[in-house]
Amino acid sequence: MSEPTRWTAPKITALKGREKIVSLTAYDFSMARMVDEAGIQLVLVGDSLGMTMLGYENTLPVTLEQMLHHTAAVARGAKHALVVTDLPFLTYQVSVEQALANAGRCIKEAGAGAVKVEGGAFRAPTIRALVENGIPVLGHIGLTPQSIRAMGGYKVQGRKSDEADHLLADARAVAEAGAFAIVLEAMPSELASAITAAVSVPTIGIGAGPHCDGQILVLHDILGLYGEFKPKFVKRYANFGPEVRSALEQYRKEVSDGSFPGPEQSY
Ligand code: KIV
């Protein structure tokens, strides 16, 4: 049987200027399969799983073992999409050697096709080392959630002109270091547009307006499965939270009153 066509990092890079890149997070086998079947080209096993799947307040406590566990499940479900694993906080910042060893585990043990790391120019040596050793890297600049303590919270970045210049330099450095694409998170559309024009690799926006080469969102946000709060940049394509709750209540009621299982569910 022939292998299904698989999106790779170079194929994603080649989409710049030709076709918008569609990406979404997924954290488990069943959802990854549906995301893949919808034709989404890049599926990110985001460290946002710390919140959506594990109930932490932010992404900081997420471990590499948790990322490997979820990535392996997603890789089994996504047959065509490029599977990218987010390297979690303090699994790549300590040294280039640490980054290489941990990114290598995502590829070797979990079946990822690439890793994502947060950070701008200061992260370039790490990105270069990963890429030179055969590990494709998705960059991530702007609001980088692993730095919320330093940023003082989830804030739009690059509103002031010196900050915007800084982010533009960061994007150039990340692209020159060999990232195959760059996530731009929470920044003015105009700045994202300038960055998109300035770098040769695709930009994938989240809260960065319509001029990026592609878009990414968190699966649970677009399906209405994670809390009531909806950030401005999220569009809900479904609101399954209330439906799931009412299905579960119905199940509880039917078991309690004896109407489930009925004859059609019984042998
Ligand atoms: O962890 C995450 O989900 C991300 C986003 C870019 C969607 O990093």
Q: What is the DSSP string of the chain?
A: -PPPP---HHHHHTTTTTS-EEEEE--SHHHHHHHHHTT-SEEEE-TTHHHHTT--SSSTT--HHHHHHHHHHHHHH-SSSEEEEEPPTTSSSS-HHHHHHHHHHHHHTT--SEEE--BSGGGHHHHHHHHHTT--EEEEEES-GGGHHHHTSS-----SHHHHHHHHHHHHHHHHTT-SEEEEES--HHHHHHHHHH-SSPEEEESS-TTSSEEEE-HHHHTT-S-S---TT---S--HHHHHHHHHHHHHHHHHTT-SS-GGG--
Q: Give, for ligand 1, the residue of 24, 216, 221, 235 to mutate: max count of ligand atoms closer than 8 Å to Cβ.
A: 216
Q: Which residues line ligand 1 (CB under 6 A)?
A: 25, 44, 46-48, 86, 183, 185, 206, 216, 218
Give the residue-averaged pLDDT of 244-255: 98
Ligand 1 mean position to 47 CA, how many Å? Answer: 6
Ligand 1 atom 3 nearest Cα:
46
Ligand 1 atom 4 nearest Cα:
46
Q: Which residues, 6 or more positions from 264, have their beta carbon under 8 angstroms from its beta carbon?
A: none
Q: For residue range 110-121, what is the model confidence (pLDDT) as tens digits?
A: 999 999 999 999
Q: Are residues 30 and 145 in the same domain?
A: yes
4 falls within a domain:
no
How much is the pLDDT for 227? Answer: 82
Give the residue-averaged pLDDT of 134-148: 98
Q: Are residues 16 and 143 in the same domain?
A: yes
Q: Are residues 136 and 231 in the same domain?
A: yes
Kindly report the pTM of this predicted structure: 0.97
Q: Are residues 260 and 145 in the same domain?
A: no
Ligand 1 mean position to 190 CA, how many Å? Answer: 21
Q: Are residues 52 and 154 in the same domain?
A: yes
Q: Which of 216, 231, 155 is nearest to 186 (CA)?
A: 155
Q: Are residues 253 and 159 in the same domain?
A: no
Q: For residue range 183-202, what is the model confidence (pLDDT) as tens digits?
A: 999 999 999 999 999 999 99
Contact predicate 238/224, CB 8 Å: yes
Active site residue 228: no
Q: For residue range 18-43, what is the model confidence (pLDDT) as tens digits?
A: 999 999 999 999 999 999 999 999 99
Which atom from ligand 1 is nearest to the alpha carbon of 47?
1
Q: Is the pLDDT of residue 4 over 80?
A: no
Contact predicate 131/137, CB 8 Å: yes
Structural domain count, the chain? 2
Question: 69: domain range?
Answer: 9-236
- What CATH number did the domain enclosing 26 receive? 3.20.20.60
2 falls within a domain:
no
1 falls within a domain:
no
Q: Are residues 258 and 156 in the same domain?
A: no
Q: Are residues 149 and 175 in the same domain?
A: yes
Q: What region, left, alpha or beta, does residue 27 occupy, with left being phi > 0 and alpha being psi -120 to 50 degrees?
A: alpha
Ligand 1 atom 8 nearest Cα:
46
Q: Are residues 227 and 256 in the same domain?
A: no
Ligand 1 mean position to 256 CA, how many Å? Answer: 40
Q: Give, for ligand 1, the residue of 66, 74, 92, 116 to mutate: max count of ligand atoms closer than 8 Å to Cβ.
A: 116
How much is the pLDDT for 1? Answer: 46
Q: Are residues 160 and 199 in the same domain?
A: yes
Give the residue-averaged pLDDT of 161-182: 98
Q: Are residues 102 and 168 in the same domain?
A: yes
